[in-house]
Amino acid sequence: MLSKALYQETCTKAVKYLEKAGIVITEAEKQRMEVAEYGLDMLDSIGLELIVYVNTERCCAKELILFSGQTCPEHRHPPVNGDPGKEETFRCRWGKVYLYVPGDPAEKPKAVAPKGREAYFTVWHEIELNPGEQYTLAPNTLHWFQAGPEGAVVSEFSTKSRDPYDVYTDPQINPAQERKV
Ligand code: ZN
C-alpha cells in the first residue's frame, strides 16, 4: 500500500514526464492520476503511473508514465461474457519502452525482469518502441513492458478495460484490487 506522501511525490514526478512529452492534462486529471503498484511494494521496479481519459462500453484511452526501470508486469486480457477480450495499442510518446509478447525470444533482451519475480516474466519476444512508434496486441495475448533508461510516456488505445478480469502471471497480483493496462 502506498503512503499518501509517496503517492503525491510519484504523481508530481509523473506530471513532469508528461510535460517532457508535451502532453497537457487538466488540474482535475492531475488530481485523479493513479499509481499502480500491484500490491507488491516494489514501485521502483514493478509499477507505473496512469491517467484514464475514457473507458466506455466500447473504447478506452489512457496515458501511461513509466520511470526508468519501472515495469508493467506480465498479464493478458481474456474473453469476458462473449467479448473476445481487450485489444490494446501502445504508442510511445516520449522516451523508450520495451514491450514483450509471445514469439522468438530476444537473445539479449534490453529489459531486465524485476528481481525476485523473474519466474513471472515468461514471454521475451522484444518490441522496442520509440516516440511515434506503436504496436497493437490481439486480445488474450500475454504481454509486459518496461521503460528504457530515461523512462517512457505511452498512450494506450483499446477496447473496454475490465481490470478485475485480467490474468496476471504473478500469483501475488490480485487483479480485483489493481488497475491494469
Ligand atoms: Zn494489457
CATH for 148: 2.60.120.10
Distance 114 CA to ligand 1 centre (A): 18
Q: What is the pLDDT of residue 174?
A: 81
Residue 2 — pLDDT band, cuts 50, 70, 90?
confident
169 with 123: CB under 8 angstroms? no
Q: What is the pLDDT of residue 14?
A: 98
Distance 56 CA to ligand 1 centre (A): 17
Cell 492520476, residue? 33
> Counting every residue, how long is the chain?
181
Distance 86 CA to ligand 1 centre (A): 8
What is the mean pLDDT of the segment spanning 118-141? 98
Residue 179 — pLDDT band, cuts 50, 70, 90?
low
Distance 159 CA to ligand 1 centre (A): 11
Distance 45 CA to ligand 1 centre (A): 17
HSE-CB at 25 with a 13 A cutoff on CA atoms is 24
What is the mean pLDDT of the segment spanning 132-150? 98
Q: What is the pLDDT of residue 1?
A: 75
% of the chain beyond a pLDDT of 90:
92
Q: What pTM was estimated for this model as a whole?
A: 0.95
Distance 26 CA to ligand 1 centre (A): 25
Distance 88 CA to ligand 1 centre (A): 7
Distance 75 CA to ligand 1 centre (A): 6
Instruction: For the beta carbon of residue 164, count every other beta carbon within 10 angstroms.
Output: 13
Distance 128 CA to ligand 1 centre (A): 16
Q: What is the pLDDT of residue 181?
A: 58
Give the number of domains in the chain. Answer: 1
Identify the domain containing residue 95 by its residue range: 4-180
Asked whether the CA dihedral 176, 134, 19, 27 is positive or negative, the reply is negative
Residue 100 — pLDDT band, cuts 50, 70, 90?
very high
CA pair distance 169, 7, nearest whole angstrom: 25
